[in-house]
Each structure stands twice: as C-alpha cells, then as structure tokens.
Amino acid sequence: MKREERQQLIDEQQKIVFRMDTYLKDSDYTGIKRGEGVAEEAEYQDIKEKRQQWREEKNAAVAEIERLKAIEPEDDDDTPEVEE
C-alpha cells in the first residue's frame, strides 16, 4: 500500500470518528433530559440504541486507523533513488 493511499484511508476513518463524536455530543441532551425526568422512556430508548451504534462505529473506525498506521507503506515508484 502506498503512503498516499494509506493516508487517504486513515483520513476517511478519521472523518467517521469525527462524525460519530458529533452525533454523540449532539444527543447528550436526551440523556440529561431522561435523567431529569423530562424525556419519555420511548424517546430515550431510541436515542440510546443509536448512541450504542455510533459508539460501535467509532470504535471500529479507531481500530481501523490503528491497523492502517501499523502498515509500513511501500516506497513510491516515482521517488528518485539517490546514488552514493
């Protein structure tokens, strides 16, 4: 895998992590409302299931980033070799 290709895949996974973090932060209010007794159980149950899915997607993306970072990229073919 070329360095550029690896970085592109890492960037895609980082976008997923960012998006899932945004979803989780944006939905924090529902848990707070439920804790204060304002949100109905049905409303909270729906968002609770979505939050679990988002956490799983985020964790998978983080694991994929770590896997990609562990791959040693191939040298670019168009990189000139330096002769000594």
Check if the beta carbon of residue 78 is closer than 8 Å to that of residue 51: no
Quote the pLDDT of residue 29: 86
Q: What pTM, to 2 d.p., does this model score?
A: 0.79
- Residue 76's pLDDT band (boundaries 50, 70, 90)? low
Give 74's strand partners.
2
Residue 65 has pLDDT above 80, yes or no: yes
Let me know if 20 is exposed, middle or buried by CB neighbors in 10 A (0-12, 13-18, 19+). buried
- Read off the pLDDT of residues 2-59 as tens digits, 9 standing for 90 and up: 999 999 999 999 999 999 999 999 998 887 888 888 877 887 888 889 999 999 999 9
Measure the CA–CA gap between 34 and 28, rounded to whole angstroms.
10
pLDDT interval class at 73 (50, 70, 90)? confident
Q: Where are the domains of the chain?
A: 3-70
